[in-house]
Structure 1
Amino acid sequence: MATLSRRQRFPFPEIPEWVEAFPARFAMPTMGDLYAVRIEDYMEGDRYVMRAELPGVSPEDIDVAISEGVLTVKAERTEHEAEKNRSEIRYGAMSRSVTLPPGTDEDDVRADYTDGMLTVTVGLGREKAEAKHIEVTHHA
């Protein structure tokens, strides 16, 4: 007995490519027209540490600023001019802001960029203020 086999053509040949590229297209959340910089932060001794993933960014294209208790990192990755078959790399402006913990000394900030990782440390120079209790008065 002969077995019949039928080859079905897949009507959307580009779908496997879309599925393969899915994680790269959505890996970095956007904030308006900016891409969010991926970070980690932690306390190390008497310093607050924030590390940011910025591979492929020139140090001249990184801006680190502190204002009113908020640390902001901005960067821009420029696209290389070449005819490409595929590109899953995000280009353009990126930004991320984090609120610094209480007691940070905004005058004691260091930033280092090595191997695509930006490390910003902020000193915890000021002692945390004790809670102030305020007397409540009552007028009858």
Structure 2
Amino acid sequence: MTDLMKWFDNRRSPMDVIERLFEGDAGSSAIRVEEMVDGNTLVVRAELPGVDPEKDVDVTVTDGVLTIKGERQEKKEHKDKDSYRSEFRYGSFVRRIPLPSGVQQDDVTASYKDGVLEVRAPIPEQGQGTGPSKIPVTRG
């Protein structure tokens, strides 16, 4: 198993688990994401329908963690001759995703199309000496 595959399997932080427990996958503030590796790039796609990505969404990388946060406001109206119905859905959201070691903030890009935010983070190649190395012990 490669280092990247091990990272992909073990990347959930305790905060992510706690946040998802309180949000619930179907909660109005939850962000559903899809993560995959495309060649040497981590691709994170988040469902964010009904938001203005320039005003409502903040994407940052700090200490090896990708953070997607923002605010959602949706308004649905139904008008009939004798009735009126309005449903508001709003709230803030946040999702944190650990990144592979070595990802540089300046290399991360984000785009938004058809209600989906896509964040691409190039994964640096890991050289041969990345694992533990044995240090010889000499007698003095």
TM-score (norm 1): 0.64
Written as runs of structure 1 = structure 2, the 5 A alignment for 1:120-135 is 120-128=119-127, 130-135=130-135
SS in 1 for 2:105: strand
What is aligned with 1:50?
A: 44
Which 5+ residue runs of structure 1 have no aligned equivalent? 1-25
Offset, 1:102:
2.9
Question: Could you tell me how far apart the structure 2 residues matched to 1:38 and 1:80 are?
Answer: 20
SS in 2 for 1:107: helix
8 Å CA contact 2:77–2:86 kept in 1: the answer is: no
* Deviating 4+ runs (over 3 angstroms): 79-84, 134-137
Decide which structure has greater helix share: 2
SS in 2 for 1:55: coil
Letter of the 2:50 counterpart: G
Amino-acid identity (%): 37
Task: Select which of 36, 41, 44 maps to 2:35.
Answer: 41
Letter of the 2:92 counterpart: A
Offset, 1:81:
8.7
Written as runs of structure 1 = structure 2, the 5 A alignment for 1:1-140 is 28-29=26-27, 35-59=29-53, 60-80=55-75, 85=85, 87=87, 90-128=89-127, 130-135=130-135
Residues 82-119 of structure 1 show CA distances to partners (whole Å, capped at 9, x for unaligned) of 686363x6411011000012342332111000000000
Question: Could you tell me how far apart the structure 1 residues matched to 2:121 and 2:95 are?
Answer: 16
* Cα RMSD for the two superposed structures: 3.0
Letter of the 1:133 counterpart: S
Letter of the 1:100 counterpart: L
Question: Could you tell me how far apart the structure 1 residues matched to 2:104 and 2:40 are?
Answer: 11
Letter of the 1:69 counterpart: G
TM-score (norm 2): 0.64
Letter of the 2:131 counterpart: A
Question: Could you tell me how far apart the structure 2 residues matched to 1:52 and 1:120 are?
Answer: 8
Which 5+ residue runs of structure 2 have no aligned equivalent? 1-23, 79-83
Letter of the 1:65 counterpart: T
Whichever of the two has the greater Rg, that structure is 1
How many residue pairs end up in the alignment?
109
Question: Could you tell me how far apart the structure 2 residues matched to 1:42 and 1:134 are?
Answer: 34
